[in-house]
Amino acid sequence: MGKNLIEVKGLKTYFYTKKGVIKAVDGVDFAIQSGKTLGIVGESGCGKSITSMSIMGLVPAPHGKIEGGEIFFEDRDLLKLSEEEMRKIRGNDISMIFQEPMTSLNPVFTIGDQITEVLILHQKLDKAQATKKAMDMLTLVGIARAEKIVKEYPHQLSGGMRQRVMIAMALSCMPKLLIADEPTTALDVTIQAQILELMNGLKERLDTAIMLITHDLGVIAEMADHVVVMYAGKVVEDASVEELFENPKHPYTLGLLNSKPNMSVEKDRLENIPGVVPNPIQLPEGCYFHPRCKYATDKCRQAQPELKEYTSGHKVSCFMVHKEV
């Protein structure tokens, strides 16, 4: 067992609004080792993006606040670092790919300007060295005419190309951890296949750890080594990818797996999870999932289950599952 590159313990990120407190991330634990991919799955509003923002130190102030927990990155607690120290880590040791490649590139700067900016700032390269490095990175991510692309603006590129540029930029400082927030959601399937293959290849070559946030279980199955399933700001299941798909335990995970039309099995009806994700301001009593859960008992309505080990390396937060054991 290798050493963890990053360890998140009891992370709590809350937002204070006029209507009340939103517990976007409420006591989340996970760890990632170098060269491994952790998949974080969940539907909109489950707190998966806020978790990544918290690691990057990008929680929007003053409404958002990290209320508790620790984020150990190479034995340093990121939450205790000053803004100055954090800036050295962000974009250098930890970098991020966002979902929307159009809105996350600056439209008034050329691709070259945007990649070299990171290199000049963090790696202290001069302009010429940085431009050379930028072109190398673009070639690495499979862009053929790198020397032309560095002079072009984001609007001249297609969606897939922009996402490659984002990846090139994120990888230009050889980060130890790459956070990819829905990196292929806005892309077509054939382009998605290209990007996923690219990310897998780069991970092996550079030994980068990847934290992959997505709602697509297919992408998780292809990419991840370990998976964390989130619901309403909490981790409901945590297991290796083989274990999760073979032996899913939490009713929510089961529901997610069954509600996706399967290409190999023909079904007349999709099993769905009734109801909707709860309003984060008025979370239900007890287990947050109980109003949508077909196995819910009185206990689920009153008390909140803890994330406990079910078998070695497979954690579930559900009363029903632990009763079976």
Partner 1 sequence: MSTPVLEVKNLKKYFPIQSGFLKTRQGDVKAVDDISFTIQEGQTLGLVGESGCGKTTAGRTILRLTDATDGQVLYKGKDVFKASKKEMMELRQQMQIVFQDPYSSLNPRMTIGEIIGEALVEHKLYKKGSELTDRVTEILELCGMARYHINRYPHEFSGGQRQRIGIARALALNPSFIVGDEPVSALDVSIQAQVINLMKDLQQKLGLSYLFISHDLSVVKHISDRVGVMYLGSLVELADKKDLYDTPKHPYTQALLSAIPVPDPKKKTKRIILQGDIPSAANPPSGCKFHTRCPYAKEICKAEVPVFKNMGSNHFVACHLVDQF
Tokens of 137: 């990175």
Binding residue for partner 1, selected from 79, 86, 120, 191, defined by CB under 8 A: 191
CB atoms closer than 10 angstroms to residue 255: 18
Give yes or no for residue 62 binding partner 1 (CB under 8 A): no
Give yes or no for residue 272 binding partner 1 (CB under 8 A): yes
Asked if 119 contacts 112 with a C-beta cutoff of 8 angstroms, the reply is: no
Give yes or no for residue 204 binding partner 1 (CB under 8 A): no
Closest distance between partner 1 and the C-beta of residue 39, in Å? 10
Question: By C-alpha distance, which of 275, 220, 272 is closest to 245?
Answer: 220
Grouping H, G, I as helix, E, B as strand and the rest as coil, residue 196 is helix
Sign of CA dihedral 213, 216, 219, 223: positive
Dihedral in degrees, nearest 10, Cα atoms 161, 167, 172, 177: 180
Tokens of 157: 């590129």
End-to-end CA distance of the chain: 27
Give yes or no for residue 261 binding partner 1 (CB under 8 A): yes
Give yes or no for residue 282 binding partner 1 (CB under 8 A): no
Lookup result for tokens 């382009």: 191
Binding residue for partner 1, selected from 149, 170, 220, 287, defined by CB under 8 A: 220
Give yes or no for residue 152 binding partner 1 (CB under 8 A): no
Closest distance between partner 1 and the C-beta of residue 269, in Å? 6
Binding residue for partner 1, selected from 82, 190, 282, 312, defined by CB under 8 A: 190
Give yes or no for residue 155 binding partner 1 (CB under 8 A): no
Number of residues counted as binding partner 1 (CB under 8 A): 47
d(CA 180, CA 95): 9
Of 41 and 56, nearer to partner 1 (C-beta) is 41
Give yes or no for residue 278 binding partner 1 (CB under 8 A): no
Asked if 208 contacts 176 with a C-beta cutoff of 8 angstroms, the reply is: yes
Contacting range for partner 1; rule: CB under 8 A; set: 6-14, 129-137, 171-179, 271-279: 271-279
Binding residue for partner 1, selected from 2, 107, 155, 264, defined by CB under 8 A: 264
Binding residue for partner 1, selected from 85, 271, 285, 309, defined by CB under 8 A: 271
Give yes or no for residue 141 binding partner 1 (CB under 8 A): no
Instruction: Show the beta-strand stretches assigned E in the chain.
Output: 4-17, 20-33, 37-41, 64-73, 76-77, 94-97, 177-181, 209-214, 226-231, 234-240, 308-311, 314-316
Closest distance between partner 1 and the C-beta of residue 216, in Å? 7
Closest distance between partner 1 and the C-beta of residue 156, in Å? 12
Residue numbers of the site for partner 1 (CB under 8 A)? 43-44, 158-161, 188-194, 196-197, 215-222, 224, 241-242, 245-246, 255-264, 267, 269-274, 276-277
